[in-house]
Amino acid sequence: MATISENIQQLHGRIERACLQASRPVHSVTLLVVTKTFPATDVREAFEAGERRFGENYVQEGVDKIEALADLRDCVEWHLIGPLQSNKTRVVAERFDWVHSVDRLKIAQRLAEQRPAALPPLDICLQVNISGEASKSGLAPAEVAEVARAVAALPRLRLRGLMAIPEPAATLEAQRVPHRALAGLLATLNRDLGLAMDTLSMGMSADMDAAILEGATMVRVGSAIFGARTRPTSPEG
């Protein structure tokens, strides 16, 4: 059985090959290590293998790991990638560096109000329901422009880009379609609203290659690093 370090090395090779296929520089894609359900000891092992960006789906689980790994806090970024309810915004504003899952203006407003002035701006991605699935969180593509304009004007936040969890697809070409749509949406928003968003948070273990071919700048991967999760979770990583 491969170690976490070996899996990370293999994953970076996969990213490099996808970037080569897409005629993109390898440094244009950032790996976000999805650590939900895995213990802090595994996160530390990934850190020792060179990783510095970690994503959590659940607020309290993320906070517990941030505290357990307090000695690493100045060296790493913590990203919330799962749904965020209004009653959890304060702790997220105070403890995390990124939030990928903002799907309504109210959440962004609360994060802006609650982000401590002593901390850098909180990096924000708007979650888009790019496949139109009834079971998925996220803004409809037609709603994104209005919310993006409002979020970009909020203090203590920095609107970085868009995030999506597309509907699973069986082939590479089918996987590319929603990722292409998200990339096109980001380009349109930057052009029409005069924004400078630079992040496309898309692509997980199963569809990372398709996402990179369509312009992903941050891929969210967990199971390809740590193995199968031992308890059910929402689809992510």
State the DSSP code for 166: P
- DSSP for 216-232 reads -SEEEE-HHHH-S-SS-
3-state secondary structure of 15: helix
Distance between CA 59 and CA 69 in Å, rounded? 15
Q: What is the pLDDT of residues 189-204, one digit of tens each?
A: 999 999 999 999 999 9
Question: Which pLDDT score is estimated for 144?
Answer: 98
Q: What digits encode the pLDDT tens for the residues 31-76?
A: 999 999 999 999 999 999 999 999 999 999 999 999 999 999 999 9
Q: Give residue 231's pLDDT.
A: 56
pLDDT, average across residues 164-173 = 96
pLDDT reading at 88 higher than 90:
yes
**Can you list the pairs that 178-186 forms with residues at least 24 positions away whose Cβ atoms lie under 8 Å?**
178/130, 178/131, 179/203, 179/207, 179/210, 179/211, 179/213, 179/214, 179/215, 179/216, 180/214, 181/130, 181/141, 182/128, 182/130, 182/214, 183/214, 183/215, 185/128, 185/130, 185/141, 185/144, 186/161, 186/162
Interval 209-229: pLDDT, tens = 999 999 999 999 999 999 887
Q: Would the pTM of this model clear 0.85, i.e. be above it?
A: yes
Domain range summary for the chain, segments of one domain joined by +: 4-226
Mean pLDDT value across the chain: 95
Domain 4-226: homologous superfamily in CATH = Alanine racemase (3.20.20.10)
pLDDT tens, position by position, 89-112: 999 999 999 999 999 999 999 999
Provide the pLDDT for residue 235. Answer: 47
